[in-house]
Structure 1
Amino acid sequence: MKRIALLGSTGSIGTNTLEVVEEHPQEFSVVAMAAGTNVDLLAKQVVKFRPELVSVGSEQAAFALKERLGSQVKPEIVYGMDGLEQVARYEEANFVMTAVVGSVGVAPTLAAIEAGKTIGLANKETLVCAGPVVMKKAKEKGVQLIPVDSEHAAVFQCLQGERRQDVERVLLTASGGSFRHLSREELGHVTVEQALAHPNWSMGAKITIDSATMMNKGFEVIEAHWLFDLPYEKIECVLHYESIIHSMVEYKDRAVMAQLGTPDMKVPIQYAMSYPGRMSLPTEPLDLVKVGTLHFAAMDFDRYPLLKLAYECGNAGGTYTAVLNAANEVAVDLFLKGSIGFLDIETIVSKTCEAHQGIQDPSLEEIFAADKWARSQALVFV
């Protein structure tokens, strides 16, 4: 049985993970979980899944959780970053699902690697911020990172049984997000509510905004670079409006392997949890006759400048990708709060990266310092 430590249990990936656990109680159990401040939902999850260890974002949230649980169940409750890392390395767990959002995922993922856990990686910022450190440590510890993002899960599956040296290029598909048919001029007037209305996927607020700016795809390019040990010139993006083909791998002989399926995150989540096997999943099967036609379009860097910036930061290396992520987190948060316009996200992120003087081959401490600097610097450009 897979004994799971779940980081980010109340988010979109976390709740879908728990649905998979509930569907296969003979295969999976949740022994530890962590969430932020959504104590009401977390309390319900704790009562249902009975983890032995639970972490929340703050001491105040820990007290609130204890009150809500009362005498129903009495797990050990911890909080803060220390609590998150305790869940990640919990001795009874043999699989860690990292489903938190943002650079907060770096430290607990490293903690899980140090503890020798198999990791389902749904926190792309871990590799965006600290790819060289994380992958080096995973190699040292012999730890496998199984990608959960639908695009990387697709590439991972398309690479099974193939030689890495035979890969010509990887094609990551992108829906184009909420505003894929709007002009640059029209983007200047969009609202938060409009931005959160993704046409295909049900995701958290931050990731949905990143999808609309194409920053999410930029992060996926950087993540693919580290996950699959590929140079950036071999990682391409293509617009695919239906989100049926989740990504493709082209080989030297021009054969192209594609992974297809309905846009349901439980598919890559369950695959990561059950790998190397597969299990039944009660979701709607793909009906290509019903779909009829699949549409593709070239990626336009002028339309999506943050995607271009992600390639530039990735090629620059060092601390640039950590700064890219931190500035974006600040800008997206400001947009969601109504403090800036949609296009201001691009301006703030771009100017912050331009102001940065990168450090090559950084230590983890230098990466965290660059992250902290970028968060402060981004506010200068508001």
Structure 2
Amino acid sequence: MQRVAVLGATGSIGGSALDVIARHPGVMRASILAAGRNVAALVALCATHRPAHAVIGDEAALPALRDGLREAGCATRAHAGDAALAALVAGDDCDTVVAAIVGAAGLESTLAAARAGKRLLLANKESLVLAGELLMQAARAGGATIVPIDSEHNAIFQCLHGRDADARVRRVTLTASGGPFRGRSRAELAGVTPAQAVAHPKWSMGPKISVDSATLMNKGLELIEARHLFGLPEDRLEVLVHPQSLVHSLVEFIDGSVLAQLGLPDMRTALAVGLGWPQRLESGVGALDLATQGPLEFGPPDLETFPCLRLAREALRAGGTAPATLNAANEVAVSAFLQGRIGFLSIAALVEDALAAIAVEPAASLEALRGIDARARRHAERAIATGAIR
């Protein structure tokens, strides 16, 4: 019986993971569920899936979690805080960890799972963007298996049959839907609202990742992830806009062959790959009928209108702590946009300002990366508070 820890259980990816797990009751079960602050939603999931442990990120919410589990008649043990979660994922109560906590908050538990040699279904992109070198070193040292759950990286993983890229790979191309504002000019984006930005045309996702998709920062972060996951240099990583979101990535080999993975835009496919690899599992996703889909379109990204993709590539080239600065400034900027404190176009402006202001240092340790992360957040918050960037 495969025991699965679902971190970020109350989010969209966590919900998809639990759906796949529930389809295979004789093969796997959810043994640990973790959420950030939503006690009621976590208790409801525990009542359905009956895990051995539940973890709430907000330590002040631990009494409410205990009370909720008791009232629901659950024998699930309640825990709170990052340290408790890291200890649980590194312990004997799970074999597989779905790392779907949004933002840098998911880093500690992801690293703990990697060091402990777990099968790590990685949906927390910030772990690779902020600390990719450290995470991959931890995975190698601990003997962990990393299966990326982003649809694009999962597609590459499948095309490479679970192996690292090597000299036979000429180029890897990640596809982007283009988000809700594809085809618009920069001037047309000045007044867009948070509600418009989170209305993704193809994927059902949380607000932060939806805004990242709208700015194309999501694709920039995925370039950085791909660099670490598959060991490819920046000049062998490309992006194509593909609004139908059916071709998730392409891998071109030196003989001219190109392999692509296609599927309906549903995260359960990638999660089923991760949970079952190298076997295939029923995911609940319907069949792809290409005859009814119409033409498939591809085109280059508009870097003038969506400069976040350019900024991410520049951070990737710079290396060291530059991706950590990019990620931290972007998290602050997206949060401020969702709160109505800055405009949509100011997201990229804040990130560019932070990259220019904060010198690149070697990514020598987690402490150094956290220091840069905090510094970049302070810089971005100050720029917002002083009105330097509106």
Same fold (TM over 0.5): yes
Map of 1:1-382 to 2, 5 A cutoff?
A: 1-71=1-71, 72-160=73-161, 164-382=166-384
Contact 1:238-1:299 within 8 A present in 2 as well: yes
- Decide which moves more: 177-186 or 228-237: 177-186
- Name the amino acid aligned to 2:272: Q
- Name the amino acid aligned to 1:188: A
Task: State the SS of the aligned residue for 2:167.
Answer: helix
Contact 2:272-2:282 within 8 A present in 1 as well: no
Q: State the 4+ residue runs in structure 1 displaced beyond 3 angstroms.
A: none
Instruction: Give 5+ residue unaligned stretches, structure 1.
Output: none
**How many Å apart are 1:78 and its aligned residue?**
1.4
Distance 1:377 1:202, change over 3 A: same
Between the aligned residues of both structures, percent identity stands at 45
Output the CA distance in 2 between the equivalents of 1:295 and 1:157: 22
Distance 1:58 1:249, change over 3 A: same
- Name the amino acid aligned to 1:380: R
**How many Å apart are 1:161 and its aligned residue?**
7.8
Post-superposition Cα deviations, 1:173-230, rounded to whole Å, max 9, x if no partner, equal: 0001111122100100101111111000001110000000000000000000000000
Contact 1:55-1:87 within 8 A present in 2 as well: no
- Decide which moves more: 264-273 or 106-115: 106-115
Post-superposition Cα deviations, 1:305-356, rounded to whole Å, max 9, x if no partner, equal: 1111111111111111011101100000011111111011111111011101
Contact 1:54-1:87 within 8 A present in 2 as well: no
Contact 1:239-1:298 within 8 A present in 2 as well: yes
**How many Å apart are 1:74 and its aligned residue?**
2.9
Provide TM-score, normalisation by structure 2: 0.96
Task: State the SS of the aligned residue for 2:299.
Answer: strand
Post-superposition Cα deviations, 1:245-283, rounded to whole Å, max 9, x if no partner, equal: 000000001110000010011000111011110012332
Task: State the SS of the aligned residue for 1:381.
Answer: helix
Post-superposition Cα deviations, 1:269-302, rounded to whole Å, max 9, x if no partner, equal: 1110111100123322101000121011112221
Contact 2:268-2:284 within 8 A present in 1 as well: no
Contact 1:127-1:222 within 8 A present in 2 as well: yes
Contact 1:327-1:374 within 8 A present in 2 as well: yes
Task: State the SS of the aligned residue for 1:6.
Answer: strand
In the other structure, the counterpart of 2:387 is none
